[in-house]
Amino acid sequence: MTALVAACVQLCSGTDRATNYQTTEALIRQAAASGARLIATPEMTNIIQRRPRLLMDELPDPGEELQEAKQFAALAKELNVHLLIGSLAVALDKTPATRRAANRGMLFSPDGALQASYDKLHMFDVDLPGGESWKESAIYQAGAEAVVADIGTAKLGLSICYDLRFPQLYRALAQGGAQIIAVPAAFTKQTGRAHWEVLLRARAIETGAYIIAPAQGGTHEDGRETWGRSMIIDPWGKIIAASDNDQPGIIWASLDLEKVAETRQRIPSLGLEQPFKLTHI
């Protein structure tokens, strides 16, 4: 059996980057001590700040490396793990009239190198019942490239939060060889309660891949509420590890990578697409 122990770190990131790093570091160390060799953190690990001006004030100028990115690289090397920082806010343009940031995932290898990065493709622009409204595209610049990274024992597909609602991305990652797909997230409490579990399980079933989904949870300093309930799901859609709350912590599971090939052999839908045309009647 080819196995990999993976862990999800659940957070309630605030508006201070240094404090967020300290909390995250402690949980990453706990995950590594539990035997995890692949450790993933949620979306916006370094800061959750919904006010664009205050967000930009907290970030270094474009082109300058984030201090926490350096620290996470060193931590991956020290612990000898693959460390996926689900996403960090990265400034691209701090000019007030044109300010832009990236919602960027970073994968650090056990030698401390930045192996891969991924900018969130799909922006969370929604108007929810009860008056809750979000427009990520007002500050964040969408990415344009899907990413599959070779982590030695497996191939890891990268995604972030709202990407979860676009199954074509996950199909492409699986067809590109991904055996594990990461879904770091900061799902709202409202949408998380309704859709988080069912969407994660659907993506696992559709792709025949393991899904690792580290989440933000709780009430954040900027006032938003996120759902938590981090999950690890096997290729058959079975939840094999899960948090039942919004509190910071870790979950982990041993991933039997042979199960990916077995599942895809039983239900070979990734290779059985048929062309079709859409007819309006």
Report the C-alpha gap between 190 and 181 in whole angstroms: 24
Active site residue 12: no
Q: How many CB atoms lie within 10 A of CB 224?
A: 17
Whether residue 181 contacts residue 156, with contact meaning beta carbons closer than 8 Å, is answered with yes
Catalytic residue among 8, 68, 155, 161: 161
Question: Catalytic: which of 8, 12, 68, 120?
Answer: 120
Annotation marks residue 77 as catalytic: no
DSSP 174-242: HHTT-SEEE--B--BHHHIIIIIHHHHHHHHHHHT-EEEE-BBEEE-TTS-EEE---EEE-TTS-EEEE
3-state helix, strand, coil in the chain (%, to 5): 30, 30, 40
How far is the C-alpha of 100 from the C-alpha of 187, rounded, in Å?
22
| Nearest Cα residue to 221 out of 67, 44, 5, 100 | 44
From 162, 212, 169, 152, select the one nearest 191 (Cα to Cα). 162
Which listed residue (43, 136, 155, 259) is catalytic?
43
| Cα–Cα dist 147/193, whole Å | 28
132 as an active site residue: the answer is no
Sheet of 180-182: strands edge to edge? 148-150, 155-158, 180-182, 210-213, 231-233, 239-242
Q: Which are the catalytic amino acids?
A: 43, 120, 161
